Structure 1
């Protein structure tokens, strides 16, 4: 099993939006970075653990525990001309962008970015590295266990 941190802007899709969706599952649309796309396409597997992270908001941080709920498939927003994620160079017969479905299994308190930075056990987490702007990053199993324990998350114990 792999573990991931996946960032979402709560104005796009929040943890509450995911919990309100059928089966608490949402498609992770709009990823337009090749490395993040490759993580979804090449490395994510159904059942992998996900730290659901709110970004670009007043208090960024981990707000839920989720899991990968599908294998990668073409992101339909790349073909929708009115979508902010439209990509004119992407063709249905050769899609450029992929997504996975993500299922929230537990909402947690907000484990904020400043809290994460203050925790010496998380110092090596990719999301905390200077200059990291990826919306999806792998999470080391020791970091996953530490965060889950710190949040008292039941779903991922």
Structure 2
């Protein structure tokens, strides 16, 4: 169970802070305990989700040590490119939904490497690949920002400094 002030990844939507835990009647009239979540960055979307909700991914943000370890292992991460656009889009969406930072790193690395290949021959990524990379980067950078106590917009340069 999460506590008030815990930062969590909520359903691959980014980093949210548990601002309250309260008991309320649900639509069937029974008492249910809910987490009240507010985004750490960006929009003002407040989320109320049952504490015992098993359908939605919710996990604690990685620790600073876990983030640093993941950054160190980035060069070892395999890529997961699929040539078929439709199959790739579906697989990439599934990877996003896992809520797993290691998978997000693989996804970003894969798309970034393909982007570099395409640039070298004067081409661009598909719109779908660009959008998926933006979502993966947003989620990963927000999580890393919380763990490292830096703004999300500084995460990319922080990573580049560590890996170079």
TM-score (norm 2): 0.31
Which structure: greater helix fraction?
A: 2
TM-score (norm 1): 0.33
Which structure: greater strand fraction?
A: 1
